[in-house]
Chain A
Amino acid sequence: MAANWLPPVSLTASGRPVFLPGEVERCLLPAVDLESENPGLAPFRSGLLVLTSHRLLWIDEQSAAGFAVPLAAVVHAYPPKKSIRSMFASPRIRLQVSVSPDGRIAEDGVRSEVITLVMRGKNDPDAFYCRLLEVLRSRQWEAAVVVEKRNTDSGIAEPPMAAAARVRMPVVGVSGILRKEQELWESTDKSLQEAFQDLNALMSKAKDMVQLAEKMRLKLLSSTSASGNADDEEMGSKQEMQDWLLSVGIVSPVTKESAGALYHQQLSRELADFVKLPLERAGGMIALVDVYCLFNRARGTALISPDDLLQACTLWEKFDVPVMLRKFDSGVMVIQSKARRDEEVFARIASLAQKPDALRTGISPSDAALTLGIAPALAKEHLLTAESKGLLCRDVSPDGFRFFINLFTEIDPSDIYMNKNNGPAHVWSSALSLSG
């Protein structure tokens, strides 16, 4: 029985055709008959016609059977007839296909036959015909063939010219677009890989860079102390240099990947090391928020959260590190160098508060900040602490919040008109009288 004069099409479980590699669906037509001029070959009635880049598929969805006409076997496609008669009949498209000696449709057949597509459903034959021509022209099935041939011929040494001649890369139609997309993707992938290699190279250089920066910093420090009177410009650029070096930072930061369960401990140690230099520069005390910014900037990537920072600081109690976390009554948190005791700061504040101007008008947090070289918020904390120790007194007025050296201790309540001749009260009242 010559019923199956077309090669079969395997279907998926849901009745869709299984496509060949690279095969793309182009058009679907319902209710199409496939007939052969050969009366011995039974026609296929009323199936779904699927035009792909490689084949013409006829699928009977009811019986889940499918058959294909390889487009490679199509020699010619006749346009649908336009005559008065054809207006009333179902449109027909005839294809001349090559047939092998045993009657099967094959690409390299010796003779040809005509098969007809009868479109029984509501279809646009002209549109389909155009598509068909496009697909036939693009010959996408040949790309697959070429690849296969290349694979099979790889054993035989073949002159490149001959191989190139056999390759016919179509650049028009859908396959052309697809090919272009493929090429684009490949080139992007390649350039991305190259870029990442650069990054890897950079990372390996990072360690060297930081070592270099460290050497320069040490050199700067030594040269600054060596030359006693550096002029302002030089000092300015040295300052810039130090700032830059400070922010270059840390080579291989502790991350959760690298340290795992020891993350917070290691982070804590890293932080203690890092914070030494900024502490020196800031006069022994920095606000925690400032440390957060500096530390993260130095780490570059692998940033830590405020919570991590806080935990790292609280862990310092367990280790023997020369820094500590300190919380003021106002809630302000600072990192303080253990070496720098409060007494030193108080001594500086006391001497500032006893200068003639300060005796007259007191000191404000910003005055103290300037003298001590620290942030105004921190300076205020110091002033308040000094006040609580009885070193200073506050003066609240419409002018603002100021502090004076504490003279209450000097005043003898039983003789309030007496002035101790060498006490600060004496100095103070002299300062007052000088100003008139």
Chain B
Amino acid sequence: MQRLGDFKLPHFFNYPPYFTLQPVRETREKQVQLWKELILDYCRSQKIFVISLEEDFPLFSNPVVERSLSHEARQVFLAALVNEGRAEWVDKSHKKCLILWLRIQDWADYILNFVKENGFEDSVMTIEDMRFGIETRGTELAGIDRGVLLRALKLLEQKGKAAIFKGASADDEGVKFSA
């Protein structure tokens, strides 16, 4: 089985037409679906939150069959993710795309669950610790994108499950969870 890093690639990754934007509608729909799944899976496994269209993205090329996605194709697949709510364009010119392999809501739920499971209600954590600290190591939260985390926490805040407070500096940003 082919791998990209430690990611297991599906067998159709070596199917050359996979890298050509299909004109026939039904075939295209299938192709888009496969790519969406693949992008999400890959980003999830590699903890990739942002795809930049101006840089090479290893998933978009396959040296084994000597094919890579055209710029147009990349736009199409990412736009499909955005439409589904699984991604967001970071800039107006659509050069950077934020991949939400977990939706913000899902993140919020995940955090809530994490807090419950680890008994962190009524405790305070810094944002930094949440992202890179010992407590979150081995969980999905490890290495989470800062913006995504804050948005998820804000959601929790709206529900009254958390309270974000700013510290003296940016590093001191923290959150207090409540039951």
A428 to B33 alpha-carbon distance, docked (Å): 21
Stretch at the interface among A173-181, A250-258, A400-408: A400-408
Which one, A394, A402, A404, A409, contacts B15 given CB within 8 A?
Answer: A404
The answer on a CB contact under 8 Å between A395 and B16 is yes
In the complex, A157 has a CB within 8 A of chain B: no
The answer on a CB contact under 8 Å between A417 and B27 is no
Can you give 14 contacting A-B residue pairs, CB < 8 Å?
A362-B16, A390-B27, A395-B19, A395-B20, A396-B20, A397-B67, A406-B27, A408-B22, A409-B30, A413-B33, A413-B37, A425-B11, A429-B11, A432-B14
The answer on a CB contact under 8 Å between B15 and A407 is yes
Q: A394-B22, A411-B12, A429-B11 are in contact. Are A404 and B37 (CB under 8 A)?
A: no
B122 CB, min distance to chain A CBs, angstroms:
41
The answer on a CB contact under 8 Å between A411 and B34 is yes
The answer on a CB contact under 8 Å between A408 and B11 is no
In the complex, B38 has a CB within 8 A of chain A: yes
The answer on a CB contact under 8 Å between A393 and B22 is yes
A432 to B52 alpha-carbon distance, docked (Å): 32
In the complex, A13 has a CB within 8 A of chain B: no
A387 to B26 alpha-carbon distance, docked (Å): 11
Nearest 3 A/B pairs, CB to CB: A393-B17, A408-B30, A395-B16
In the complex, A388 has a CB within 8 A of chain B: yes
Contact with B along A206-228 (1 / 0, CB 8 A): 00000000000000000000000
In the complex, B170 has a CB within 8 A of chain A: no
Residues of B13-67 contacting chain A, CB below 8 A: 14-17, 19-20, 22-24, 26-27, 30-31, 33-34, 37-38, 66-67
A388 to B24 alpha-carbon distance, docked (Å): 6
Which one, B12, B23, B66, B67, contacts A407 given CB within 8 A?
Answer: B12
In the complex, B8 has a CB within 8 A of chain A: yes
Q: Which of B24, B37, B66 has the most CB of A within 10 A?
A: B24
In the complex, B119 has a CB within 8 A of chain A: no
A419 CB, min distance to chain B CBs, angstroms:
6
A387 to B24 alpha-carbon distance, docked (Å): 7
Residues of A within 8 A of B30 (CB): 408-409, 411, 413
B25 CB, min distance to chain A CBs, angstroms:
9
In the complex, A416 has a CB within 8 A of chain B: yes
Contact with B along A135-157 (1 / 0, CB 8 A): 00000000000000000000000
Residues of B within 8 A of A428 (CB): 15
A429 to B1 alpha-carbon distance, docked (Å): 11
Residues of A within 8 A of B23 (CB): 387, 394
A314 CB, min distance to chain B CBs, angstroms:
30
Residues of A within 8 A of B15 (CB): 404, 407, 428
A388 to B27 alpha-carbon distance, docked (Å): 9
| Closest partner residue, chain A, to B67 (CB atom) | A397
Residues of A within 8 A of B12 (CB): 407, 411, 416, 425
A427 to B8 alpha-carbon distance, docked (Å): 21
Count of interface residues, chain B, beta-carbon cutoff 8 Å: 23
A387 to B19 alpha-carbon distance, docked (Å): 16
Residues of A within 8 A of B37 (CB): 413, 416
Residues of B within 8 A of A409 (CB): 30
Residues of A within 8 A of B38 (CB): 416
Q: Which of A395, A413, A428 has the most CB of B within 10 A?
A: A395
Q: Which of A387, A416, A417 has the most CB of B within 10 A?
A: A416
Residues of B within 8 A of A397 (CB): 16, 19-20, 66-67
Residues of A121-172 contacting chain B, CB below 8 A: none
A417 to B37 alpha-carbon distance, docked (Å): 12
In the complex, B10 has a CB within 8 A of chain A: yes
Residues of A within 8 A of B8 (CB): 417
| Closest partner residue, chain B, to A419 (CB atom) | B11
A387 to B21 alpha-carbon distance, docked (Å): 13
Which one, A390, A404, A408, contacts B34 given CB within 8 A?
Answer: A408
The answer on a CB contact under 8 Å between B31 and A394 is no
Which one, B10, B17, B24, B33, contacts A395 given CB within 8 A?
Answer: B17
What would 4 more interface pairs be, CB under 8 Å, given A416-B38, A428-B15, A429-B14?
A: A395-B19, A397-B66, A432-B11, A432-B14
The answer on a CB contact under 8 Å between A408 and B67 is no
Contact with B along A409-436 (1 / 0, CB 8 A): 1010100110100000100110010000
A68 to B71 alpha-carbon distance, docked (Å): 104
Residues of A within 8 A of B10 (CB): 416-417
A406 to B24 alpha-carbon distance, docked (Å): 11
Contact with B along A356-384 (1 / 0, CB 8 A): 00000010000000000000000000000
Residues of B within 8 A of A393 (CB): 17, 20, 22, 27
A393 to B37 alpha-carbon distance, docked (Å): 20
| Closest partner residue, chain B, to A411 (CB atom) | B12
Residues of A within 8 A of B34 (CB): 408, 411, 413, 416
| Closest partner residue, chain B, to A389 (CB atom) | B24
B41 CB, min distance to chain A CBs, angstroms:
8
| Closest partner residue, chain B, to A398 (CB atom) | B66
A396 to B33 alpha-carbon distance, docked (Å): 20
| Closest partner residue, chain B, to A409 (CB atom) | B30
Which one, A362, A390, A416, A425, contacts B24 given CB within 8 A?
Answer: A390
Q: Which of B15, B19, B22, B30 has the most CB of A within 10 A?
A: B15
A335 to B14 alpha-carbon distance, docked (Å): 39
| Closest partner residue, chain A, to B17 (CB atom) | A393
Residues of B within 8 A of A425 (CB): 11-12
Residues of A within 8 A of B19 (CB): 395, 397
| Closest partner residue, chain B, to A429 (CB atom) | B11
| Closest partner residue, chain A, to B11 (CB atom) | A429
| Closest partner residue, chain A, to B38 (CB atom) | A416
